Amino acid sequence: MKIIKNTVLVVVFLSTVQVFSQEILTKKEALKITLENNFGIKIANNNVEVAKNNTSMYNTGFLPTAAVSSGANYRRDNQDVTFQDGTSRSIDGAVTKSYNAALNVSYTIFDGLGRKYNYQQLKETYNLSELQAKETIENTYLQLFTSYFQIARLSENTNNLSEALSISKRRFQRAKYQYDYGQTTKLEMLNAEVDVNNDSISFITAKQQLNNVKRGLNIILGIEKDVNYKVETDVDFIKMMSFDDLQQKTVANNAILKQNEQNIAISEFTIKINKSNYLPSLDLNTSYGWNKSENPATSFLAGATSNGLNAGLSLSWSLFDGGVTKTSVANAKIALDTQQILLEQQKTTVQNTLKNTWENYHNQLFIIGAQDKNVVTTQNNFDRTEERYKLGQVTSIEFRQAQINFINAKTALNNAKFDAKLIELQLLQLSGDILNVEF
DSSP string, 75-139: EEEEEEEE-TTS-EEEEEEEEEEEEEEEEEEEEEEESTTHHHHHHHHHHHHHHHHHHHHHHHHHH
**Spans of all domains in the chain:** 2-37+112-280+322-436
| ∠ CA 95-96-99, rounded to 5° | 140
Q: Which residues contact 331 (CB under 8 A, 6 or more apart)?
A: none
Q: What pLDDT score does 22 carry?
A: 66
Q: What pLDDT score does 221 carry?
A: 93
Q: Exposure of 34 by Cβ count < 10 A (0-12 exposed, 13-18 middle, 19+ buried)?
A: buried
18 touches 226 (CB < 8 A): no
Q: What pLDDT score does 303 carry?
A: 83
Which of 133, 81, 157, 236 has the alpha carbon at shortest distance from 413?
Answer: 157
pLDDT average, residue stretch 79-103: 82
Q: What pLDDT score does 1 carry?
A: 39
Q: What pLDDT score does 90 carry?
A: 81
Q: Kindly tell me if the per-residue pLDDT of 32 is higher than 70.
A: yes
Which of 148, 155, 284 has the alpha carbon at shortest distance from 209?
Answer: 155
| Third-level CATH fold of 2-37+112-280+322-436 | Outer membrane efflux proteins (OEP) (1.20.1600)
Q: Kindly tell me if the per-residue pLDDT of 369 is higher than 60.
A: yes
Quote the percentage of the chain above a pLDDT of 90.
72
62 touches 110 (CB < 8 A): no
360 touches 423 (CB < 8 A): yes
pLDDT average, residue stretch 126-148: 95
Q: Exposure of 77 by Cβ count < 10 A (0-12 exposed, 13-18 middle, 19+ buried)?
A: exposed
248 touches 113 (CB < 8 A): no
How far apart, in whole angstroms, are the C-alpha atoms of residue 280 and residue 315? 7
Residue 129: CB atoms within 10 Å: 23
131 touches 125 (CB < 8 A): no
Q: What pLDDT score does 91 carry?
A: 81
Q: Kindly tell me if the per-residue pLDDT of 384 is higher than 90.
A: yes
Give the pairing of strands 88-110 and 65-82. Answer: antiparallel
The helix (H) or strand (E) run that includes residue 429 is helix 396-430
What does pTM read for this prediction? 0.81
Q: pLDDT band at residue 363, thresholds of 50, 70 and 90? A: very high
Q: Kindly tell me if the per-residue pLDDT of 211 is higher than 80.
A: yes
How far apart, in whole angstroms, are the C-alpha atoms of residue 179 and residue 185? 6
* Residues β-bridged to residue 108: 283
Q: Which residues contact 339 (CB under 8 A, 6 or more apart)?
A: 260, 263, 264, 267
Q: What pLDDT score does 176 carry?
A: 87
Mean pLDDT of the chain, nearest integer: 89
How far apart, in whole angstroms, are the C-alpha atoms of residue 132 and residue 55? 17
Quote the percentage of the chain above a pLDDT of 70.
95
Sign of the torsion angle spanned by Cα atoms 33, 235, 253, 355: positive
If one compares 411 and 295, the residue with the highest pLDDT of the two is 411
Quick one: DSSP state of residue 65?
A: E
Q: Kindly tell me if the per-residue pLDDT of 19 is higher than 80.
A: no
Q: pLDDT band at residue 358, thresholds of 50, 70 and 90? A: very high
pLDDT tens-digit map of 142-180: 999 999 999 999 999 999 999 999 999 998 898 888 888
How far apart, in whole angstroms, are the C-alpha atoms of residue 434 and residue 421? 12
Residue 95: CB atoms within 10 Å: 12
The single-letter code of the amino acid at 138 is E
Q: pLDDT band at residue 391, thresholds of 50, 70 and 90? A: confident
> 137's torsion region: left (phi>0), alpha (psi -120 to 50) or beta?
alpha
pLDDT tens-digit map of 181-206: 877 778 888 888 999 999 999 999 99
Q: Kindly tell me if the per-residue pLDDT of 9 is higher than 70.
A: no
Which of 198, 178, 202 has the alpha carbon at shortest distance from 188?
Answer: 178
pLDDT average, residue stretch 32-55: 94
* Lowest-pLDDT choice from 26-35, 83-92, 262-271: 83-92
Q: What pLDDT score does 394 carry?
A: 86
If one compares 268 and 300, the residue with the highest pLDDT of the two is 268
